[in-house]
Structure 1
Amino acid sequence: MNRIFLALALLLTLGFSVAYWKMGGFKAAVVTRETTAQPYFLAGRYYEGPAQDEAFGDLTREAYNLRKAGKLRGDFGNIFYNSPESSRDQAKVFVGVFVADTTAQQLPAGYRYRTFAAGQRVLRARINASYLLAPDKLYTGVKDAAAAQKLTLQHIYLERFPDEGEPEVLAVLK
């Protein structure tokens, strides 16, 4: 009986390890120091409050559904206005969809534009991994690169999760 449980545990462990590997769980983020060449336009809504609040989840689902329905065309993303560590308790975030420009699409009711300006010095982290695993790995990569290069972060972060390509985080430098 114990051998059956041991074999089952090993099989499950192997299965979870393969799934984690396939999702990109063993990959590290590639971090580069850059200056943004062009602005990013985000159509969405601002949220300030507990990160675990249902209202924050509702904004995320709303942006996803608008994108899925074709009412907004672009990549899902956020602009955080506080550090990832403090956003676990109190999030200050603009949630929405990155759009090519501010004139090509009609905004849904209650939606506004925010711009992540060109010419900002940033650390850009990218990873070829599932969007479920990417945020923690991207933020860890940014934090480690900033510490290694003795850079100070301004605690403004752009997250972009494209359908095709690598998820990325841009962290503004002081």
Structure 2
Amino acid sequence: MNRKFLLVMVILSIIVGAFYAYLGGFSSAKVSEVDSQQLFVAGRAFKGAVTDNLINDSFRRAAEVLDKKELEGMLGNIYYNNPEDRGDSIHAFIGVVIPDSAVQLPADYELRVVPAGRRALRSEVNAHYMLAPNKLYEAIFDYAKEKNLGLETFYVEWFPEDHQGIVEVPIKE
């Protein structure tokens, strides 16, 4: 019986490891210093506890907007507080990065513009959007600490593909 159990555990471990690898769990983020690009983010503001169901509703609504083709674009968010320091509260704008500001927005959406031309750190990773944020932020914070750079509390993340994530954070001048 112990051999069967061990064999089942080994097979399950291989399956879990392969799935984790498929999602990009073993990918590492690359960080570079860039001039930020202008982005148009259509979405809904959220300020409250990370356990609040309204934040999940905002994420679901963004996915729905894309699925129903109410907007063309990619999932994207703006955070106005440090994701590592936020504790149990978050100040965010959750939605869709769209190609330009001239599109008709869904009734429950508003538009925010991320300005271009600011010196920023950009982190990119090839991983599923469920795994990407932790890798992206960790890489940015490690790079900033290593280079002794201060960061603003303005984080923009977007997901151009299912297995790609990008975060930009302006560098304090």
- With the length of structure 2 as denominator, give the TM-score of the two structures: 0.94
Superposed CA deviations along residues 29-78 of structure 1, whole A, max 9, x for unmatched, are 01001111x31010111100011211000011111101111111101110
Identity over the aligned pairs, expressed in percent? 38
Distance 1:24 1:165 in 2: 7
1:49-128 residue pairs with structure 2 within 5 A?
49-103=48-102, 105-128=103-126
Secondary structure of the structure 2 residue equivalent to 1:167: strand
* Paired letter, 1:7: L
Gaps of at least 5 residues in structure 2 are none
Amino acid at match of 2:30: V
State the 1:110 CA deviation.
Answer: 2.5
Cross-structure match for 2:30: 30
Gaps of 5+ in 1: none
How far apart are residue 164 of structure 1 and its match?
A: 6.4
Tell me which amino acid in the other structure corresponds to 2:86: S
Say whether the 8 Å CA contact 1:127–1:168 is kept in structure 2: yes
Q: Which letter maps to 2:51? A: Q
Deviation at 1:119, TM superposition (A): 1.2
> 1:88: Cα distance to partner?
5.0
1:88 to 1:15, Cα distance in 2 relative to 1, 3 A = farther
Give the alignment's Cα RMSD to 1 decimal: 1.3
Distance in 1 between the 2:24 and 2:108 partners?
36
Q: Tell me the CA shift for residue 85 of structure 1.
A: 1.4
> Is 1:48 matched with 2:47?
yes
Q: Secondary structure at the match of 1:154?
A: coil
Name the residue aligned to 1:132: 130
For the 8 Å contact 2:62–2:96, the answer to whether it is kept is yes
Normalised TM-score (structure 1): 0.94
**Equivalent residue pairs, number:** 172
Classify 1:18/1:165 alpha carbon distance in 2 versus 1 (closer, same or farther; 3 Å).
closer
Matches within 5 A, 1:144-159: 144-159=142-157
Structure 1 residue 137: deviation in Å? Answer: 0.5
